[in-house]
A = this chain, B = another copy of it.
Amino acid sequence: MLLTALQYIGLVAFAASGSLAAVRTGLDVFGVIVVGLTTALGGGIIRDVLLGIHPPSTLHSWPYLAVCAGTALAVFVFHPQVAKVRRAVLLADALGLGVFATAGTTIALSTGAPIYTSCLIGMTTGIGGGALRDLLLREIPLVLRKEIYAVAALAGSVLVGIGHALRLPAGPVTVVAAAAVVAIRVLAMWRRWNAPVAKAPEHD
């Protein structure tokens, strides 16, 4: 129940993030919907392919599909003023990242996968949709750029893994962990936390 609600929140957030990025790139309405769907469904499809769930559950539920396509269409029609778009994309992306990373970990654990495998699959579920979005739009994936990103997803997945090891109830743990991911991402963007970069002597 709680997991289903989270799933919808994550789908809407990622569909919005993907379609906003596509609108900014100047794609037409169908391109916007394709990028929105890919961003929203991509992480879950990767997760189900890795776990051997066939066909992927996100392709199996028409309400999911309708919500994603509707979100992308709404973004196309009502997309906000430019000044706000970049920030909105990043916020929606943080929310999707948190929900998918933690729900992905919970789903992997429920198939009996070991905890560290589940954490990795959860992290991949979180970063997969956004990585596909950036690859399709020919940007270097956000996950590789300056701020804390994959680490935030991994932190949320590890929290879910710890909760699982302590036999805490999966639903509340997932919500808390997802909130932690969003908080880490927002703090990282707000305070411009950057991880160290290797000295690149070739540019000296």
Contacts and interface: CB of A to CB of B under 8 A. Distances in A.
Interface in A129-146: 131, 135-138, 140-141, 143-146
A57 B86 CA distance: 39
28 contacts: A22-B144, A23-B198, A24-B200, A27-B144, A28-B195, A28-B196, A30-B149, A30-B195, A31-B195, A35-B144, A45-B50, A49-B50, A50-B56, A51-B54, A52-B54, A52-B55, A55-B108, A55-B113, A60-B114, A60-B117, A62-B116, A65-B120, A76-B198, A82-B201, A135-B136, A137-B140, A137-B144, A138-B140
Contact of A55 (B117, B151, B201): B117
B136 A141 contact: yes
A2 interface: no
A94 interface: no
Interface residues of A, number: 60
Which secondary structure characterizes the binding site on chain A? Answer: helix
A160 B65 CA distance: 19
Interface in A145-197: 145-146, 148-151, 194-197
Interface string A20-45: 00111011111111110000000001
B151 A140 contact: no
